[in-house]
Amino acid sequence: MKLYTIALVALLPCLAATPDVDKGKTLGLPTAPIRMEIFGDFTCLHCRLLHEETLPLLMKEFVVTGKLYIIDRAFPLTGPPHQYSREAFGYAVAAARIGKYQEVADALYAHQQTWAQAGNVWDCVTAVLKNPADQKKVKDLSKDPGVLAEIEAEYQEGVQAGVNVTPTMIVTAGGKRYPLPPAPNYELLRSMLNGFLPK
Amino acid sequence: MDFYQNRALRAILLAIRIVLGAVFVYGGYVKLQAPWALFGMAIDSYHLVPLRYIEPLARTIPWFEVALGLLLIFGWLLRISATTVSLTLAIFFAAMLHAFLNHQEINCGCFGPGEPISKWTLLRDGSMLAGSLFLTWMALRSPRRMA
Q: Report the chain A residue with the minimal C-alpha distance to residue B31.
A: A178
pLDDT digit string, tens, across residues A154-170:
999 999 988 888 899 99
Q: State how far the Cα of A154 lies from the Cα of A171, in Å rounded to an integer.
A: 16
Q: Which residues from chain B sit within 8 angstroms of residue A195, using beta carbons?
A: 35-37
Determine contact, residues B115/B108, Cβ cutoff 8 Å: yes
Cα dihedral sign for B38, B102, B64, A164? negative
Q: What is the number of alpha carbons within 13 Å of residue A179 lying toward its C-beta? A: 24
Residue A12 burial (10 A CB sphere; 0-12, 13-18, 19+)? exposed
pLDDT of residue A181: 86
Minimal Cβ distance to A181: which of B45, B54, B55? B45
Task: Using a CB–CB cutoff of 8 Å, tell me whether B65 touches chain A.
Answer: no
Please determine, for the modelled complex, whether the ipTM score is greater than 0.85: no
| pLDDT(A14) > 50 | no
Q: Residue B108: which pLDDT band, with cuts at 50, 70 and 90? A: confident
Task: Using a CB–CB cutoff of 8 Å, tell me whether B114 touches chain A.
Answer: yes
Q: Which residues from chain A sit within 8 angstroms of residue B114, using beta carbons?
A: 162, 179
What backbone phi and psi angles, to 5 degrees, belong to A68? -135, 140
Domain over A2-8+19-179 is classified CATH 3.30.70.1060: no
Contact A180 B45 (CB under 8 A): no
Kindly list the residues of chain A whose beta carbon comes within 8 Å of any beta carbon in chain B: 162, 164-165, 178-185, 187-189, 191-192, 195-196
Contact A181 B35 (CB under 8 A): no
Entry pTM:
0.81
Residue A31 burial (10 A CB sphere; 0-12, 13-18, 19+)? exposed
Q: In this structure, how many other beta carbons lie within 10 angstroms of the beta carbon of residue B49? A: 14
pLDDT of residue B134: 95
Q: State how far the Cα of B58 lies from the Cα of B43, in Å rounded to an integer.
A: 8
Q: State how far the Cα of A91 lies from the Cα of B90, in Å rounded to an integer.
A: 49
Contact B40 A178 (CB under 8 A): no
Q: State how far the Cα of A41 lies from the Cα of A73, in Å rounded to an integer.
A: 9
Mean predicted confidence (pLDDT) in A111-130: 89
Determine contact, residues A44/A183, Cβ cutoff 8 Å: no
pLDDT digit string, tens, across residues B76-101:
999 999 999 999 999 999 999 999 99
Mutation site, B51, B106, B107, B120, interface A, largest A CB count within 10 A = B107
Mutation site, A191, A196, A197, interface B, largest B CB count within 10 A = A191
User: A176-179 and A34-40: which strand pairing?
Assistant: unpaired
Query: What angle in degrees, to the nearest 10, is found between the helix axes of B78-101 and B51-74?
Result: 140
Query: Strand locations in B7-84, DSSP E?
Result: none
pLDDT digit string, tens, across residues A121-138:
998 999 888 889 989 999
Q: Residue B113: which pLDDT band, with cuts at 50, 70 and 90? A: confident
Q: State how far the Cα of B10 lies from the Cα of B144, in Å rounded to an integer.
A: 12
Contact A188 B105 (CB under 8 A): no
Q: Report the chain A residue with the minimal C-alpha distance to residue B116.
A: A164
pLDDT of residue B71: 95
Mean predicted confidence (pLDDT) in A29-52: 94
Residue A159 makes CB contacts below 8 A (sequence gap 6+) with none
Contact B37 A192 (CB under 8 A): yes
Give the closest residue to A181 by CA, choosing from B46, B101, B48, B92: B46
Mean pLDDT score of chain A, rounded to an integer? 87
Coil, helix or strand at residue A47:
helix
Q: Report the chain B residue with the minimal C-alpha distance to residue A163.
A: B114
Mean pLDDT score of chain B, rounded to an integer? 90
| pLDDT(B143) > 70 | no
Determine contact, residues A170/A157, Cβ cutoff 8 Å: no
Q: State how far the Cα of B129 lies from the Cα of B146, in Å rounded to an integer.
A: 19
pLDDT of residue A17: 41
Alpha carbon distances (Å) from A186 to A67, A193, B41? 16, 10, 9
Residue A61 makes CB contacts below 8 A (sequence gap 6+) with A190
Give the closest residue to B131 by CA, choosing from B15, B1, B11, B5: B15
Q: Which residues from chain A sit within 8 angstroms of residue B116, using beta carbons?
A: 164-165
